[in-house]
Amino acid sequence: MELAVESSESSMLKGQAEIWKQMFSFADSMALKCAVELRIADIIHSHGRPITLSQIASSLDSPSPDVSYLYRIMRLLVRKKIFSVDHHPSDGGETVYGLTRSSRWLLHDSDDLSLAPLIMMQNHPWNMAPWHCFSQCVKEGGGTVAFKKAHGCEIWDFASRNPEYNKIFNDGLACTSKIISGAIISGYKDGFGSIGSLVDVGGGIGEMMSEIVKSYPHIEGINFDLPHVIATAPKYDGVSHMGGDMFQDIPSADAVFMKWIMHDWSDEDCVKILRNCRKAIPAKTGKLIVVEIVVQPEGGDGVFDDMGLVFDLLMLAHASGGKERTELEWSKILEQGGFPRFKIINIPALPSIIEAYPE
């Protein structure tokens, strides 16, 4: 009996600890955002070696930084393995802080791949506000959109009216394109070889199409997005920019490419987009290349499996009926949209490639 009581108390204590941890999990992302804003990873990287807290502080864009404040933030980031710490450096001097495999993804000022713009985008107050509307959306139902609840309009309208948000949003998506493009090109080596022309639907400012054309210069690249997005797109060799609406018409090409577009929309809207994709490509030789998460409904042990569920909540926060889909859910909308055959190709990245065919 006594053992059972101890076991019950231990279980209750662990349960309490789990709730405390989840309650304040936002502290992790806020500390991470702080590190990006202060460019701490860049400062350490610029020295080429681990450095002291005072060296980090002296490199900040501030005449009088608070070192004790900085220490407390770094202490948590070290605990989370974002940065490393050596309390006993070989020269016997002060404690030094270094980069880890995680903090290298926070770099701005190098050619390395970076998630820094996405961290700033996802943790901006504009994008955080819709998360506070989940309970209202559950109660009200009827397709209530969290982003609209928070800001009075849907995300695409908000971006078209707000140049600052539009830049934050586009920069965030562009950095994911650069990261995922390498995985796509290495994991889909034979997929682009027979394509003469390729249209990237919802391609943002064209970063993804630019990377594809660099590796496959024979491809005529078309970057297609809303006019206000295309208006800020830089020039890329081999890529033409076209403004328009994917719900109305999609430029013709040998193949259609879409990265992280379908998850923004409801099944009904996805079918409309897919039917326009079907019209844009040749009936016998055309194909659709979709880069999206394939959710593992029963969970899994893949390195990114948990993120599928997190991204699904992200769609609740920002999208108009969007969601992440299981293989069965993908099968249904693809068939309704005119693509009865498809295969899933795993690549070394968060999403997978779904290659679909009209016949």
Which residues, listed in sequence order, are joined to residue 354 by a DSSP beta bridge? 290, 344
Backbone angles phi, psi at 229, to 5 degrees: -75, -50
Amino acid symbol at 52? T
Measured CA to CA, the distance from residue 275 to residue 280 in angstroms comes to: 9
Measured CA to CA, the distance from residue 319 to residue 326 in angstroms comes to: 18
Other beta carbons less than 10 A from residue 188's beta carbon: 17
Indicate if 263 belongs to the active site.
Answer: yes
Q: Which of 45, 151, 241, 263 is catalytic?
A: 263
Distance of alpha carbon 167 from the chain centroid: 15
Other beta carbons less than 10 A from residue 226's beta carbon: 16
Measured CA to CA, the distance from residue 110 to residue 108 in angstroms comes to: 6
Map tokens 């039917």 to a residue. 275
Which of 47, 74, 43 has its CA nearest to residue 60?
A: 43
Answer for the pair 200, 208: CB distance below 8 angstroms, yes or no: yes
* Contacts by residues 315-318 (CB-CB < 8 Å, ≥ 24 positions apart): 315/263, 315/264, 316/134, 316/137, 316/146, 317/127, 317/130, 317/131, 317/134, 317/146, 317/147, 318/127, 318/130, 318/146, 318/147, 318/155, 318/264
Measured CA to CA, the distance from residue 352 to residue 359 in angstroms comes to: 22
Which residues participate in catalysis according to the annotation? 263
